[in-house]
Structure 1
Amino acid sequence: MFLDSFHRKQDGYVLISADQASNFAKDVAGDFNPIHNPDAKRFCVPGDLLFALVLQRYGVSERMAVRFSGMVGDNVPLVFPEVDEGVVDIQDTNGKAYLHLEHGGKTSHDAQLIEQLTRHYVAFSGHNFPFIMVPLMEKHGVMFNPKRPLVIYESMAFELNRLDIQNPEMELANTSLDVNGKRGDAHFEFNITADGEVVGTGSKKLIVSGLMPYDSAAMDDMVEQFEVLKQQRFGR
């Protein structure tokens, strides 16, 4: 499985190093959020990597909903329960929860489908900045603080009409931003397509903190930094 290089198993636990998490964020998700850099003061494992490991362990169900409740640090031992009755909580050895999964309907453990869905969803999710977030914030006249950007991945969910599909892709359907003072709740709705047919729908929610008035020059600088980091990583 392509996720083998982004985690390891030890004594029955799943551990993700800061380097593994950072490589996944950049190379698989195209996500250059500084919070995923190994030397970040508030480093955390990308939520999409946790979700990818959940798919690998429990399969793809027709209905899946994930809620994140904590930030996983460097090499935190995670417990993936053996028993799965439609509700799963990923916790550390102290019982602190980081991810809550509810799923139902038919489930597929087809490795090809799991990898295809994982790669396409993670690439779609990782490109939230700048491609989706910047136009959305500009529309509402707000932005996060460029000196202390704090965007938290709170939840995601999707429903598939069927599981006998190949190469599912995500297409953005709608965006919205609910602003309440210095906090904003960003919602992204997307369609899941396969062979030109809509086979499902999904949604993602982000919490944006420290909102301030939109500054096009400051945001342009952030986008330029993103492009520089991308070019340095991929040479293009």
Structure 2
Amino acid sequence: MLEQFYQDFGTHVCISREQGSRFAKAVADDFNPLHDVEAKKFCVPGDLLFSVVLDKYGINEQMHFTFANMVDEGVKLSMPQGEAQFDIKDGDKCYLSVQREGENSQCKTLTNALIKNYVEFSGKAFPHVVVPLMAKQGVMINPARPMIIYESMSIHMDTLAVTAPELREAEHVFTYEGKRGKIILRFDFLAQGEVVGRGEKHMLVSGIREYCQDTVDELIRGYNERKAALKS
């Protein structure tokens, strides 16, 4: 499923602007301007890096990902072999730290199902989850410069003896102090109605301000108009 979204050179992979942008829009339904081909400060989607790791290494019962730097086009991302804990780097610069524990599954059906379900959920977090979650506490992001940084994510599978788990949102958390805050998006993986795993996505937010319904309405309207224009 992911072969079209990165170039595999064995010991390292590269991702072009076109590949990163196409993944964001076609797979993740993510229309963040940072992922546009023509973006001045282009950034490869964090969810694509996560997906590439699963595609290359399979799924472990416990996996934790810490995002350190934004990836530009053409960066040579190292892919170490046979390690439980490793950094994906270009030279001395680390972009993603990975920790793996427990049994490992190389089942492509399971890997593709988990990637598809998680990425679709993650890509729609803004504005559909993030905005109402912050609104409950009477605050919102800065509409002129919405700064939401992907910090980390983790997966904990109770069993790998499944092939097509579905994702269900769990209880999300938002905390803040002053203009900075943290969002934790929680989710469960289900197979035949039973929870077989769970996970969390952690994001940092800055530029927090008092909630204004008119501003939020305009922000969401602008996002939806941009999405519709790019999809047409």
2:13 is the alignment partner of 1:26: no
- Judge which range, 209-218 or 115-124, deviates more: 209-218
Unaligned runs of 5+ in 1: none
- Judge which range, 95-104 or 164-173, deviates more: 164-173
Secondary structure at 2:114's aligned position in 1? Answer: helix
Q: TM-score, normalised by structure 2?
A: 0.95
Instruction: Indicate the residue corresponding to 1:89 in structure 2.
Output: 87
Instruction: Indicate the residue corresponding to 1:149 in structure 2.
Output: 146
One-letter identity of the residue aligned with 2:22: N
Secondary structure at 2:130's aligned position in 1? Answer: helix
Instruction: Indicate the residue corresponding to 2:38 in structure 1.
Output: 39
Map 1:108-123; keep pairs closer than 5 Å.
108-123=105-120
- Judge which range, 159-168 or 4-13, deviates more: 4-13
In structure 2, relative to structure 1, the CA distance for the partners of 1:129 and 1:90 (3 Å cut) is same
- Once the two structures are superposed, residues 179-234 of structure 1 have per-residue CA deviations (whole angstroms, 9 ceiling, x without a partner) of 12111100111111112111111111000111111222122122122222333344
Instruction: Indicate the residue corresponding to 1:179 in structure 2.
Output: 176
Secondary structure at 1:227's aligned position in 2? Answer: helix
Secondary structure at 1:113's aligned position in 2? Answer: helix
**Counterparts of 1:183 and 1:209, CA distance in 2:** 4
Deviation at residue 144 of structure 1 after TM alignment: 1.6
Question: Among 156, 166, 170, which residue is 1:169 paired with?
Answer: 166
**Counterparts of 1:10 and 1:107, CA distance in 2:** 23
**Counterparts of 2:217 and 2:46, CA distance in 1:** 26
- Once the two structures are superposed, residues 103-139 of structure 1 have per-residue CA deviations (whole angstroms, 9 ceiling, x without a partner) of 1111100111111110111111111012210111111
One-letter identity of the residue aligned with 2:65: V
In structure 2, relative to structure 1, the CA distance for the partners of 1:11 and 1:200 (3 Å cut) is closer
Count of residue pairs the alignment pairs up:
232
In structure 2, relative to structure 1, the CA distance for the partners of 1:199 and 1:231 (3 Å cut) is same
**Counterparts of 1:12 and 1:173, CA distance in 2:** 37
RMSD: 1.4
Tell me if the contact between 2:61 and 2:104 (Cα under 8 Å) persists in the aligned partners.
yes
Q: TM-score, normalised by structure 1?
A: 0.93
Instruction: Indicate the residue corresponding to 1:17 in structure 2.
Output: 16
One-letter identity of the residue aligned with 2:216: M
Deviation at residue 11 of structure 1 after TM alignment: 7.7
Tell me if the contact between 2:11 and 2:80 (Cα under 8 Å) persists in the aligned partners.
no
One-letter identity of the residue aligned with 1:120: N
**Counterparts of 1:221 and 1:156, CA distance in 2:** 30
Deviation at residue 140 of structure 1 after TM alignment: 1.5
- Judge which range, 135-144 or 35-44, deviates more: 35-44
**Counterparts of 2:10 and 2:66, CA distance in 1:** 26
In structure 2, relative to structure 1, the CA distance for the partners of 1:9 and 1:229 (3 Å cut) is same
2:215 is the alignment partner of 1:218: yes
